[in-house]
Amino acid sequence: MLSALPDLPDLTLHDLYEQYPAFDIDVQREQALLTEHEVIVWQHPLYWYSVPPLLKQWIDLVLTHGWAYGSQGNALVGKQVLSVISTGGPAASYTIDGFHGHTIDEFLLPLAQTTRLCKMHYLPPFLLQGTHRLSDAEIAQAADDYRALLEALCADRIADKLWGTHATMNDVLRTLTTKATA
């Protein structure tokens, strides 16, 4: 997925594990990066039904009271947050009747609520599911879709009313593609 990232001037790749292999997060640097961008993407696998450990630590340390939330915490107001999630299991396992007994939205509720607390807008997630069984062609298509989504977000081509009516950004992207070819 990372190999498909578009080369756009407004897009910054910031790999937490590359930046902080010892988990020693530079909070001021991270807060500065957040203030410089209007859309924040959290890309990660669904890790034990949550986020990987470094992202959890990043959330705990960077999104501080008085800066990101609380009566004086307004640094992130109005920014958009997109979760890009990969799962080993197929989409069918993430349903009430599926293997995991819950939907992806239920597992992502803590992230959605965190963004609300920080007065940001949580976008529907972009999902790559069943990764253990995807063909190279399917992975390449998902990477192309991810690239198209990021290009659309950077160009501000996705209106709030559009993403507000879809469960995933995959669906939003399909809608945009359908409108473009119609």
Beta partners for residue 70, in sequence order:
none
pLDDT tens per residue, range 165-182: 788 888 888 877 766 665
Instruction: State the Cα–Cα distance between residues 77 and 91, nearest whole angstrom.
Output: 32
pLDDT bin (cut points 50, 70, 90) of residue 24 is very high
Residue 5 and residue 148: Cα distance in Å, rounded? 9
Of 162, 172, 174, nearest to 182 by C-alpha is 174
Please tell me the pTM assigned to this model: 0.91
Domains parsed from the chain with CATH numbers: 21-181 (3.40.50.360)
Pair of tokens at residue 90: 């197929």
Instruction: Locate 106 and state its tokens.
Output: 């239920």
Task: Encode pLDDT of 90-129 as tens digits.
Answer: 999 999 999 999 999 999 999 999 999 999 999 999 999 9
